[in-house]
Chain A
Amino acid sequence: DGGITQSPKYLFRKEGQNVTLSCEQNLNHDAMYWYRQDPGQGLRLIYYSQIVNDFQKGDIAEGYSVSREKKESFPLTVTSAQKNPTAFYLCASSPGPNQETQYFGPGTRLLVL
């Protein structure tokens, strides 16, 4: 089945620790995105990538980093510089950036110990 997978479903971070969230897609999509969702709010864009080996900052990139070494993978690292990381993180992909529907993964909930 084609789709987007995210792992883990829940992730716990200790103070000062970097953690990495996985996002994989087998839809052969060029574009991939990371969004952050906080309670009672809409989604906000963290990073996006329109093609392999290229990515751009979104609206709230501080404290996060990404890589796009393979078309199907777009991992997100939450660094210790992100002071308020507790949120629901959603990965999405689309065939291309314009006029295209984005398809979302099931999400990873990050909690701070």
Chain B
Amino acid sequence: GDSVTQMEGPVTLSEEAFLTINCTYTATGYPSLFWYVQYPGEGLQLLLKATKADDKGSNKGFEATYRKETTSFHLEKGSVQVSDSAVYFCALLSSSNTGKLIFGQGTTLQVKP
């Protein structure tokens, strides 16, 4: 079945460092892919998405490119800030026509001043 695998955290970076959070997926066909962010005690917010191969999603300095060859959707940011500290979830939209999102386990990012 469909699945998403994220790199394990926590990831600890200094402010202005480069961020990469790896995400790979297994799915039938070419599902839409998403990155969500969760701040402590809150719900999930959509960070970016890509709906087809080679699409690049971007928002707030974050980027991810849909790579069908490597079935990956890695999240990157050139210069992180303390305010980026949160849990990041990679997800795909299931091909089962249910609208179900399948999530990775989440990666905690901590940015230190």
Q: Is the CB of B99 within 8 A of A42?
A: no
Interface membership of A40, Cβ < 8 A:
yes
- Interface residues contributed by chain A, number (CB under 8 Å): 30
Interface membership of A25, Cβ < 8 A:
no
- Which residue on B lies nearest to A49, using beta carbons? B99
Interface membership of B101, Cβ < 8 A:
yes
Q: Is the CB of B43 within 8 A of A105?
A: yes
List the A side residues contacting B45 at CB < 8 Å. 104
Interface membership of A53, Cβ < 8 A:
no
Q: A40 to B8, alpha carbons, bound, how many Å?
A: 10
- Which residue on A lies nearest to B96, using beta carbons? A97
Q: Is the CB of A101 within 8 A of B97?
A: no
List the A side residues contacting B104 at CB < 8 Å. 42
Which residues of chain B have a CB within 8 Å of any CB of chain A? Answer: 4, 32, 34, 36, 41-46, 49, 51, 89, 91, 93, 97-101, 103-106
